[in-house]
Structure 1
Amino acid sequence: MASRCTTRGRRRSAMSANPHGYTFNHTMIRVKDPRASLAFYRDLLGMTLLRQIDVEEGAFSLYFLAFMDEGDKLPEDEADLREYVFSRPGVLELTHNWGTEDEDGPVYHSGNGEPRGYGHIGLAVPDVEAACRRFADAGVRFIKRPEEGRMKHIAFIADPDGYWIEILSARAMAGR
């Protein structure tokens, strides 16, 4: 029997209500080489580096990225910038533990091999096929192309550390 996704009949409890002011701010992934990851997320996907924090005593760096609308400007005041980064939705935090870029092979588990865990990031684009052509031209590794499998309206690509990124169109997901 084919599975079917439905939202009918969902009940909201008091505990699942969205308390005023809550926002899904960011998710964090660990990266082996920040140069490769920044080239991927910033230069290829088009995200903006909002802020970088280097923590010498911990030997790690944090990179906060997000998509910004044309004309948006980052606050110049440091406190205002911190508040902006930690209050806006849709931030990706890349954590780099210094020295991992010099290690051979993969350093982190993406969650998509055994044992399974973390799955993927979702990226909405206006046109999945056009985005996939752009990614293919840039040499991005595909996990799934739109023409593969049963779900023809999505694709999956991999970032430099092997984390999966789902490429989707909101219109296609709505059946339009």
Structure 2
Amino acid sequence: MKFTFCHNNFNVVNLEKSLEFYEKSLGLKEVRRKVAEDGSFILVYLGDGSSNHTLELTWLRDWDRPYNLGDNEFHLALRVDDFDAAYNLHKELGCICYENKEMGIYFIADPDNYWIEILPSQH
């Protein structure tokens, strides 16, 4: 028996704002979408164009408050081929929420405050 990664899910309050963030900050693009017949939810899957792993963004029509992320100890991690350029972009976008220069990594926060770890290609 072999398990392979498929996707991770983040629930989002503002789908359009999140889609813009993920495309602008990480280059992730929509690869498929499912809209409930009754309009109660929208699932949007984002891909990196290289791997089969996707990030599922879930928007719920009747959700009216920010999501409680607890102590936010979970995160998504992405490697980048040009770490310095990525850092400069994220600094410009104002989304860096934590830096660990000693480890050579940093984190960005999306509009719902989910953390994404940015790793250099050789780490």
Aligned AA (1:136): K
Aligned AA (2:20): A
Larger RCO, structure (CA 8 Å, separation 6 or more): 2
Structure number having the greater strand percentage = 2
Alpha-carbon distance in structure 2 between the residues aligned to 1:145 and 1:132: 10
Paired position in structure 2 for 1:15: none
Where 1:56 maps in the other structure, the secondary structure is coil
Where 1:145 maps in the other structure, the secondary structure is strand
Task: Supply the RMSD in Å over aligned alpha carbons.
Answer: 2.1
Is 1:49 paired with 2:37? Answer: no
Where 1:107 maps in the other structure, the secondary structure is coil
Superposition deviation, residue 170 in structure 1: 3.3
Of 145, 150, 175 in structure 1, the residue corresponding to residue 99 of structure 2 is 145
Q: TM-score, normalised by structure 1?
A: 0.62
Alpha-carbon distance in structure 1 between the residues aligned to 2:100 and 2:88: 11
Paired position in structure 2 for 1:108: 67
Alpha-carbon distance in structure 2 between the residues aligned to 1:30 and 1:56: 19
Gaps of 5+ in 1: 1-18, 70-87
Q: TM-score, normalised by structure 2?
A: 0.86
Paired position in structure 1 for 2:107: 156
Kindly indicate whether the alpha-carbon contact (under 8 Å) linking 1:121 and 1:166 is maintained by their aligned counterparts in 2. yes
The 5 A counterparts of 1:27-46 are: 27-46=8-27
Gaps of 5+ in 2: none
Aligned AA (1:144): Y
Alpha-carbon distance in structure 2 between the residues aligned to 1:164 and 1:145: 12
Where 1:23 maps in the other structure, the secondary structure is coil
Superposition deviation, residue 47 in structure 1: 0.9
Kindly indicate whether the alpha-carbon contact (under 8 Å) linking 1:49 and 1:63 is maintained by their aligned counterparts in 2. yes
Q: Which 4+ residue blocks in structure 1 deviate beyond 6 angstroms?
A: none
| Higher Rg | 1
Give the share of equivalent positions with the same residue, in percent. Answer: 35
Query: When the two structures are aligned, how many residues end up with a matched partner?
Result: 123
Alpha-carbon distance in structure 2 between the residues aligned to 1:58 and 1:27: 22
Where 2:38 maps in the other structure, the secondary structure is helix
Structure number having the greater helix percentage = 1
Paired position in structure 1 for 2:91: 136
